Amino acid sequence: MKRYLLILAAACALIAGSNACTPKQPAEETAAVQNDSNTPLHLLQPDYKIPYGVPARDDVKAALDRILKFVDKETPWQPGADGTVPRGAFRLTSYEWGVTYAAMLAAAASTGDKAYTDYTYNRHAFLAADAEEFRNGKAPEGKRPTVTLRPRALDDCGAICVSMIKDQVAHPELNLRPLIDLYADYIMNKEFRLQDGTLARNRPQLNTVWLDDMFMGIPALAWYGKLTGDKKYYDEAVRQIRLFKEKMWVPEKNLFRHGWVEAMDEHPAFHWGRANGWAVLTMCDVLDALPQDYPGRAEVLDLYCKHVKGLCALQSGEGFWHQLLDRNDSYLESSATAIYAYCIAHGVCEGWLNPLEYGPAALLAWDAVSTVIDEEGMVHGTCVGTGMAFDPTFYYYRPVSPYAAHAYGPAIFAGAEVIRLLEKYHPQMNDSAIQFYYEDFSDKGPIFSVK
């Protein structure tokens, strides 16, 4: 026992000596705990995945400039030394590039930057000259036209017809009218239709209606009516929207289905994002083209507003929309998001939508799109060209590519209209949230009340 006590005493002395030789440490400093009594917790910065907030106009313009620089390089139009035009990453006459040409004109209008006008003007002028060469039999033997002279589908002519009409009106010296007339005639008189007159295709099944074809055919009819003053084109545009609504609209979700097949008893509803984008973009274009008091315009406007309501209900927390809109385990997709950003912002700017209700959704969508535009101007996260299916797996696993041309026009449209939105209204962060105002309250600080 005595031995045990001696050993214990020695151990205690050793510990004491060790402590005596070690400098005394200050009390451990701990970060102050943020709690309700010492911190305004509602002002803590969330860990957003996107730059949530009101974008600066200069930042939006910078993003558009990067895209312009990239697509200008990848869509050459001037012949090289051998007389042929070099091939870029994108075609000059695809429907996707019809959207891009029209978007460039919108960007020129909202930014005042002539570079955007020149982009479309130069290529349209080249295509007009290309077509004239073949019409006059002056094309060299073996040369193939760059422009589509024999359309075989709405994809060949509808979107580019709209861009050409807009550019021809702005620049009467362009020789685009022969192509415009050719394309409008194909849409009005030669495209396949169902017995009731609905624009249709015979793929992937006989007598199939594609939601995509709302955009590929209807806006060109409305704009051709505006160009010619012939009301039959206005009437046909409105009639086609009604026919598509009868088959494709799902009222309980305020969304469109992607496809409709005449032989089906039930019609599966797969709400593909970009197809719904083409539909809402169609209605924007038609509303822009129709006279304010034209019969049927109010009906189109009502459908547009319902569609936007359905879309906004499904916007993700990251600002994007999903590949299949109502299935949030499908991937987030860029081109549809860019189209919605434009169409919602355009509706607010035109007075079709209440800015307090829908302005934040438009800015959130642009904030999302801005994150997929890289320093080179490439737009990422875009679903490649897509056919039609009646099962979810097809849509879930469609590849994405920065060379999918579908995103570039919509991204330019979106940025152009967001600039217009920022100049027309006064969005501001208030209590950490995006709010829209009719007056400029920016001098009142981040939190204020409106009297």
Q: What are the tens digits of pLDDT across the range 323-335?
A: 999 999 999 999 9
Residue-wise pLDDT for 210-246, tens only, equals 999 999 999 999 999 999 999 999 999 999 999 999 9
Model pLDDT, residue 195 = 98
> Is the pLDDT at 27 greater than 60, yes or no?
no
Question: Residue 403: phi, psi to the nearest 5?
Answer: -100, 5
Tens digits of per-residue pLDDT, 144-153?
Answer: 899 999 999 9
Sorting pLDDT into bands at 50, 70 and 90, what band is 53?
very high
Beta strand pairing call for 255-256 and 249-250: antiparallel
pLDDT value for 18: 43
Tell me the CA end-to-end span of the chain in Å, nearest whole number.
86
Flag whether pLDDT at 399 surpasses 80. Answer: yes
- The secondary structure of 123-175 as a DSSP string is HHHHHHHHHHHHHTT-SPTT---SS-SS--SGGGTHHHHHHHHHHHHH-TTS-
Q: Which residues pair with 255 in a beta bridge?
A: 250
pLDDT on residue 40? 85
**Which contacts (CB < 8 Å, 24+ apart) does range 147-154 have?**
147/92, 147/93, 147/179, 148/93, 149/182, 151/182, 151/183, 151/186, 151/190, 153/191, 153/201, 153/216, 154/187, 154/191, 154/199, 154/213, 154/216, 154/217
Torsion sign across C-alpha atoms 374, 376, 381, 382: positive
60-81 pLDDT tens trace: 999 999 999 999 999 999 988 8
- Residue 162 tokens read as 């709209």
pLDDT in tens, 242-300: 999 999 999 999 999 999 999 999 999 999 999 999 999 999 999 999 999 999 999 99
Residue 280 and residue 343: Cα distance in Å, rounded? 7
The helix or strand, by DSSP H or E, that contains position 259, with its residue range, turns out to be strand 259-261
What is the rounded distance in angstroms from the CA atom of residue 283 to the CA atom of residue 244?
12
| Structure tokens that stand for 244 in this block | 């598509």
- Domains in the chain (CATH in brackets) are 61-443 (1.50.10.10)
Which residues, including other chains, have CB under 8 Å from residue 208's CB and lie 6 or more apart?
200, 201, 202, 259, 260, 261, 262, 388
Express each pLDDT in 352-361 by its tens digit.
999 999 999 9
Kindly report whether the peptide bond that precedes residue 204 is cis, defined as omega within 30 degrees of 0. yes
Can you list the pairs that 290-293 forms with residues at least 24 positions away whose Cβ atoms lie under 8 Å?
290/222, 290/225, 290/226, 290/234, 290/237, 290/238, 291/234
Average pLDDT over residues 415-425: 98
pLDDT interval class at 43 (50, 70, 90): confident
Examine the pLDDT at 139 and tell me if it is beyond 90: no
pLDDT confidence of residue 220: 98
Mean pLDDT, range 20-33, rounded to an integer: 55
20: which residues sit within 8 A by CB, 6+ positions away?
Answer: none
SS (H, E, C) 31-71: CCCCCCCCCCHHHCCCCCCCCCCCCCHHHHHHHHHHHHHHH
Average model confidence (pLDDT) for the chain? 92
Report yes or no: 386 and 364 within 8 Å, Cβ to Cβ. no
